A and B are shown apart, each in its own frame.
Chain A
């Protein structure tokens, strides 16, 4: 029966690094049921035993204020871990020990991993871990997770603590008036059969913990007791005051200990972080530097990810597709099967696979920025500008990611805790023109604006950002009225990114992308093929196929925008499946080939410069692809908002592309 070890601690404490050091590649990322909080679990081997390790979300506290906190707390109290390793950042010790006191209050079996001691030493912060252990009543082990130091001792201590039965926990005093009330509440709670220790529940109730309140009142008749009601009403009057007093008491407890146990230099040493921040968060230089860094990321992602590696993948897919076809022909497989495999399955797989290098590079670069600590500065630098349009700094990060692909872009909105901020960020993300749309623009550029490629692309992207900002502002004043949350963000010290962390994180994200987006794209592209060749006997991708008929049916909508042909409609329709499919579909319906100069020539014949522009505007803004819609559904948990996203973006795209065409015609363009 293997033991379960839970890892708890502040964000940026090195918890994830420790988790990676313990579990290596034996880890699995999923979701906690019912919430969008990530669940990381893995296995580690020590001695001859295998242990289960669960990485809880990083939190500053174990209250009930955010999904992260509730998930972490719930696992500790009801998930029955055999021991909790509390990762504490030695350079930030008071704030980190706050969580530790809460763990002690819960009576959990704890071992403290005093992490980042190397950094603390370099800042002349010395912690006497033996004294600390004595004061806390739990083992404290020095570790440097990024260099795998102290891991063995940590495991030893954890296993030892797991085996020893609990011998009572440290009791904090919260001041006379609160301590008294805790005793009274304990009295009331004693009768009931709750699964949490009554002293802890009593404390939580006084703290105004919404989860505890709900739990107690649903599982007991206390509310009916007159004595209790009177007591509770009196408490309610002081609720806020009590909350703050309790927090203060915890910090006092911590402060009394660190006063004796931690030695610091008299004057804080100005760190490298401070020096670098002078430049990176500079009043004037901060933004341009950020813009330059983002531009570099952008360039790298597309140059290496798409142009270079994407091309290799395309060649590889062609090769595999060709070999497969050859094999099938060789065994006299029926023509429809060869076509299905070749143009359905392989095309579908190809659409996804060619995109993977871009995603890999994007996640790697974003991961490096995140791990180094720069991302927090980026959010900081952009915050002012974003507030002017009803958004905030962290929203911008998700927008940047969206330029690569909207699927990770939407997921990146998880850092926005405020529901309003998050919903708006999700709804405007699709306006960030994703990498899959680039080939579409390139075809039209090649047909009509061959010498202005850069300018056209930039204008398209800029339009996307402008619409995103505009809609953000509108949403924040209408649908999602209410306060944008205040900016509160920790700026962690700059650290050299731990490469293994970054790569592992990238891998988690890419495999997640493949599993979700990949399957959707594959399924939908194959479906498109089926629609294009049925009913049997018609010319594939012709106007008589089901796909063609769908195109004819919807084509009139696009008349006012200048491209009311069934072929253009089919192209756009396929883009709802996957933006990667548009060029291939346009190729097949116009020219019988998937890409290349024939397609460009066909486009030149069927479109005009003006309609090319309006078509690109439509492409930029309209309904996001199925994979993105799927992600939106998952992240919002709401079909309503997913549908809203699909329709409103189409609406905006339609209005703007019609506007472009009609105004252009009036102005004399063609």
Chain B
């Protein structure tokens, strides 16, 4: 299964969370906010500054460094 880093996706792309490689606290926090394994994420904005994604009906902004550490599988 091909995993990419969330930061490499473009606006409109949809993916599913595979693994997060950040520190324990950040990973846990992200998980509990809805970025758990298999969660469906849509990239809404990825140009400058934190990336904005849509996640099951709400929007979350993530710092680019963090988005780099989130591995996802592209989806439809």
Contacts and interface: CB of A to CB of B under 8 A. Distances in A.
A95 B63 contact: no
A91 B57 contact: yes
Contacts of A384: 48-50
Given A92-B58, A244-B27, A486 B32 contact: no
Interface in B11-30: 22, 24-30
B57 A93 contact: yes
Contacts, number: 110
B59 interface: yes
Interface string B48-63: 1110101111111111
Interface stretch (A219-227, A488-496, A506-514): A488-496
A487 interface: yes
A491 B52 contact: yes
A108 interface: no
B53 to A, nearest CB: 10
A283 B48 contact: yes
A60 B28 CA distance: 11
Nearest to B47: A283
Contacts of A283: 47-49
A281 interface: yes
B61 A489 contact: yes
B52 A487 contact: no
B31 A380 contact: no
B10 to A, nearest CB: 14
Contacts of A243: 24, 28
A268 B54 CA distance: 10
Interface residues on A, range: 35 or more
Contact of A490 (B44, B45, B47, B59): B59
Nearest to A99: B32
A94 B32 CA distance: 11
Given A244-B27, A380-B61, A488-B66, A61 B50 contact: no
A95 B56 contact: yes
A381 B31 CA distance: 24
A277 B45 CA distance: 10
A105 interface: no
A251 interface: yes
Contacts of A61: 32
B62 A493 contact: no
B36 interface: yes
Contacts of B32: 60-61, 63, 98, 247
Instruction: Tell which of B25, B32, B60, B66 has the most Cβ of chain A within 10 Å.
Output: B32
Given A63-B32, A380-B49, A384-B49, A244 B62 contact: no
A383 B65 CA distance: 13
A151 to B, nearest CB: 24
Given A380-B50, A380-B61, A488-B62, A244 B56 contact: no
A128 to B, nearest CB: 17
Given A268-B54, A380-B50, A60 B66 contact: no
A268 B32 CA distance: 23
Nearest to A258: B56
A60 B33 contact: yes
A247 B54 CA distance: 20
Nearest to A255: B38
B36 A247 contact: yes
Nearest to A98: B32
A493 B55 CA distance: 13
Nearest to B48: A283
A388 to B, nearest CB: 12
Contacts of A121: none
A95 B48 CA distance: 27
A273 B48 CA distance: 20
A92 B48 contact: no
A244 B26 contact: no
B49 A383 contact: yes
A125 interface: yes
A248 interface: yes
Contacts of B22: 486
Interface of A: 60-61, 63, 65, 91-95, 98, 123, 125, 240, 243-244, 247-248, 251, 268, 273-274, 277, 281, 283, 376, 380-381, 383-384, 393, 485-493
14 contacts: A65-B25, A65-B29, A92-B56, A95-B58, A243-B28, A268-B54, A281-B52, A376-B61, A384-B49, A485-B26, A486-B63, A489-B50, A490-B61, A491-B59
